[in-house]
C-alpha cells in the first residue's frame, strides 16, 4: 500500500506537505511494545477493559439492552435510507433531501451512543492504542520535500500536540492503519465514505455547493 501524502500547516501557519511512510516490521514491533507497556500501566491503574464496559454501564443504569435495541433500529434506518440513493431515477432535489435525512439520522445515532463511546474511548485498550499510534506517528511522518522526519521521538510528538501538523499527522497514522486492516485506500476525511457524500460527489453536487458558498462569501466580503 502506498504512503499517505497530506497537506497541513507548520507552527507558523505556513503550508506544509508531509508524508506518512508505511512502517517497517521493526517499527511495528516497537509500536506493539509501546501498546503492551501502556496497556499494563492502564490495567494497574484500574482502567476498564473493553469486555467490562457493557456490564459496568448496565449496573450503573447508563446503558442496557433497550438502548442497544434503539441504536440498532437507528442503524437499520440509516441502511434503509441509504438504499434510496441507489435509485438511478432519483432527481438531484430528491437525492439532496435523502442526503439531508441521512445526515440527521447519523447525528442522532452519534448523540444516542455518546455515553457509551465516552467510556469505550477511555478503556485500557483505547489508551494503549493511542500510545501505539503516537509512537507510529513520531516514527513514520516525514517532510515530503526534505525527507527529514518531523518528530525526533514520541516525547517530541507529545510536546507538540497543540500544532495542527501534529493533529493531522496523528489522523493520517490512524487512517493508514485502518487502510491496512480494511485492505483499501481511504480518504483523509472518513465521512467521504458515507453513502450520502459519495452520492453528492457522483452527481457533482458537492462541488456545486462549495462554489455557491464561495460566491456568497465573496459578495459578503
pLDDT digits (tens, 9 = 90+) for 132-179: 999 999 999 999 999 999 999 999 999 999 999 999 999 999 999 999
How many other CB atoms sit within 10 Å of the CB of residue 209? 12
DSSP state of 194: S
Instruction: Say whether pLDDT at 115 is over 90.
Output: no
pTM of the shown model: 0.82
User: Taking the alpha carbons of 86, 90, 96, 98 in that order, is the dihedral positive or negative?
Assistant: negative
* 74 three-class SS: helix
93/101 Cα distance (integer angstroms)? 13
193/61 Cα distance (integer angstroms)? 34
pLDDT digits (tens, 9 = 90+) for 172-200: 999 999 999 999 999 999 999 999 999 99
When pLDDT is cut at 50, 70 and 90, the band that residue 8 belongs to is very high
Instruction: Say whether pLDDT at 217 is over 90.
Output: no
When pLDDT is cut at 50, 70 and 90, the band that residue 61 belongs to is confident
Question: What's residue 129's pLDDT?
Answer: 97
pLDDT digits (tens, 9 = 90+) for 16-59: 999 999 999 999 999 999 999 999 999 999 999 999 998 899 88
5/22 Cα distance (integer angstroms)? 11
Comparing CA positions, the residue from 64, 48, 73, 44 lying closest to residue 124 is: 48
When pLDDT is cut at 50, 70 and 90, the band that residue 210 belongs to is very low
Comparing CA positions, the residue from 144, 113, 146, 124 lying closest to residue 39 is: 124
Question: What's residue 213's pLDDT?
Answer: 39
43/127 Cα distance (integer angstroms)? 10
Amino acid at each position: 500500500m502506498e504512503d499517505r501524502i497530506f497537506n497541513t500547516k507548520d507552527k507558523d501557519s505556513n503550508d506544509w506537505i508531509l508524508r506518512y511512510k508505511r512502517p517497517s516490521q521493526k517499527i511495528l514491533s516497537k509500536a506493539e511494545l509501546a501498546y503492551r507497556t501502556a496497556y499494563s500501566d492502564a490495567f494497574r491503574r484500574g482502567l476498564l477493559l473493553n469486555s467490562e464496559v457493557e456490564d459496568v454501564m448496565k449496573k450503573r443504569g447508563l446503558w442496557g439492552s433497550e438502548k442497544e435495541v434503539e441504536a440498532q433500529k437507528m442503524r437499520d434506518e440509516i441502511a434503509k435510507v441509504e438504499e434510496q440513493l441507489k435509485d438511478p431515477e432519483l432527481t438531484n432535489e430528491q437525492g439532496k433531501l435523502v442526503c439531508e435525512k441521512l445526515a440527521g439520522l447519523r447525528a442522532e445515532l452519534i448523540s444516542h451512543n455518546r455515553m457509551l463511546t465516552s467510556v469505550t474511548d477511555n478503556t485500557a485498550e483505547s489508551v494503549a492504542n493511542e500510545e501505539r499510534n503516537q509512537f507510529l506517528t513520531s516514527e513514520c511522518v516525514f517532510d515530503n520535500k526534505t525527507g527529514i522526519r518531523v518528530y525526533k521521538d514520541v516525547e517530541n510528538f507529545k510536546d507538540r500536540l497543540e500544532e495542527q501538523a501534529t493533529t493531522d499527522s496523528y489522523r493520517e497514522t490512524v487512517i493508514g492503519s485502518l487502510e491496512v486492516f480494511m485492505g483499501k485506500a481511504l480518504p483523509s476525511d472518513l465521512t467521504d465514505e458515507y453513502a450520502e457524500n459519495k452520492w453528492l460527489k457522483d452527481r457533482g453536487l458537492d462541488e456545486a455547493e462549495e462554489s455557491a458558498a464561495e460566491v456568497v462569501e465573496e459578495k459578503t466580503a
